[in-house]
Amino acid sequence: MEKQEVIISENLGQSLSAAIGGVEHDRLFVLTDENTLRLCWPLVCEMPCMQGGQMITIGATDENKTLESLVHVWTVLQQGGATRHSLMICLGGGMVTDLGGFAASTFKRGIAYINVPTTLLSMVDASVGGKTGINFGGLKNEVGVFNCAQTVILDTTFLRTLDYQNLASGYAEMLKHGLISTVENWAELLRFDIAEADYAELGKLVGKSVAVKEHIVEEDPLEKGIRKALNLGHTVGHAFESLAMAEGRTVLHGYAVAWGLVCELYLSAKRMGFPREKLYQTIQYVKNHYGTFDFDCKKYDCLYELMTHDKKNTSGSVNFTLLGDVGDIHINQTATREEIFDMLDFYREN
């Protein structure tokens, strides 16, 4: 998998023009969801480089990261005369870049695409690293491919279009990056006030967060080893998301990851000696900014079953990434059913 170009943009028009001009193409398509069509498309639609682009719009939120939406994108590409030499711009959050990247990677066996993430979550997570996919059979990201965007353009201008919940959702992935990097980065993230966001400061933190992910992805592009560090909080987080989806509750991905971090840091403390002081500092930050996920002990079996379907698992064991300390990463750690139930007890009691 080729290394993708990630541009931290200070002039969106220039960055888009250069990225589009750098890909020889016959037709241009622009994928948005209903929200980014309304809030973000107006910020770029008048740019000369975007003229002539054919629009494709899908429903907003993760509930629409489905096979049906994927078929819709393929259909519009086909009816719009897309060829193997066409180019697609994915303008949106993680759902758009995930699904759009998958659609581009599979149409005509692959057309070029550029990610322009418009949410904090997609800037620091979904749009970078080449993971694409859709939800399937009630499970998160069950079907997809590894295929990097030609270019990823990060411009914090879009962050001003976000409400608090979506800003906080993306920030959870940044917390994860802090936990797997350095104490300084982690502590800096805990000091930042999402509710009163300083966008200039946030832009600097985004740059540091993306650099953590880029370094790991470059070392292990296909998730055979250290890239699994990026799954911290996700084994439990994805189970929370899937349970919420099954119950008709809307849970943003980053909130589920934040709650998953609490669970998996507790397991890290039990198994790897992760410092209790840092555990409780992180728990307090998560409680203050993300609240808690409500479930009772009757849901433990269901959550355990969902964890067994996680793509990181081998031989039926539930696989975790755990920490001995901030930056001290231990991948491929398994846990028993009893340990997982104990972890869920801790979460509900704290």
Tens of pLDDT, residue by residue over 246-279, are 999 989 999 999 999 999 999 999 999 999 999 9
In 3D, which of 241, 239, 223, 224 has the Cα closest to residue 340?
239
The reported pLDDT for the residue numbered 315 is 63
Percent of the chain with pLDDT over 70: 98
176 and 322 part of one domain? yes
256 and 325 part of one domain? yes
147 and 184 part of one domain? no
Q: Does residue 161 carry a pLDDT above 80? A: yes
On average, the pLDDT of the chain sits at 94
Type of residue at 253: H
146 and 64 part of one domain? yes
297 and 317 part of one domain? yes
123 and 82 part of one domain? yes
Give residue 48's domain range.
Answer: 5-161
**What is the secondary structure of 305-350 as a DSSP string?**
HHHHT-TT-BTTBEEEEEEEETTEEEEEEEE-HHHHHHHHHHHHH-
Provide the 10 A C-beta neighbour count for residue 109.
7
Looking at 99, 127, 161, which one is the last position of a domain? 161
The reported pLDDT for the residue numbered 2 is 64
pLDDT category of residue 138 using cuts at 50, 70 and 90: confident
The reported pLDDT for the residue numbered 223 is 86
What gap in Å lies between CA 161 and CA 189, rounded to an integer? 22
> Cβ distance 12 to 153 under 8 Å?
yes
213 and 83 part of one domain? no
Looking at 109, 141, 161, which one is the last position of a domain? 161
Q: What's the rounded mean pLDDT across residues 306-326?
A: 86
Q: Does residue 288 carry a pLDDT above 80? A: yes
13 and 152 part of one domain? yes
Number of domains in the chain: 2
What gap in Å lies between CA 56 and CA 203, rounded to an integer? 29
Residue 128 φ/ψ region, left for φ over 0, alpha for ψ in the -120 to 50 degree band, beta for the rest: beta
pLDDT category of residue 145 using cuts at 50, 70 and 90: very high
102 and 182 part of one domain? no
149 and 187 part of one domain? no
Looking at 122, 144, 161, which one is the last position of a domain? 161
145 and 55 part of one domain? yes
Pair type for strands 318-325 and 87-92: unpaired
The CATH number linked to 74 is 3.40.50.1970
Type of residue at 87: L
Tens of pLDDT, residue by residue over 72-113, are 999 999 999 999 999 999 999 999 999 999 999 999 999 999
SS3 153: strand
Task: Write down the pTM of the prediction.
Answer: 0.88
248 and 155 part of one domain? no
Q: What's the rounded mean pLDDT across residues 137-147?
A: 92
How far apart, in Å, are the Cα atoms of 275 and each of 176, 255, 265, 321, 328? Answer: 16, 23, 9, 16, 11
Token duo for residue 7: 């541009």
Q: What's the rounded mean pLDDT across residues 182-208?
A: 93
Q: Does residue 331 carry a pLDDT above 80? A: yes
Q: Does residue 1 carry a pLDDT above 80? A: no
The reported pLDDT for the residue numbered 250 is 84
Q: What's the rounded mean pLDDT across residues 296-315?
A: 88
What gap in Å lies between CA 123 and CA 155, rounded to an integer? 9
> Cβ distance 309 to 241 under 8 Å?
no
Residue 337 CB-half CA count within 13 A: 8
Q: Higher model confidence: residue 2 or residue 156?
A: 156
For the chain, strand residue ranges (E) read: 5-8, 28-33, 54-58, 87-92, 112-117, 134-136, 139-143, 151-154, 318-325, 328-335
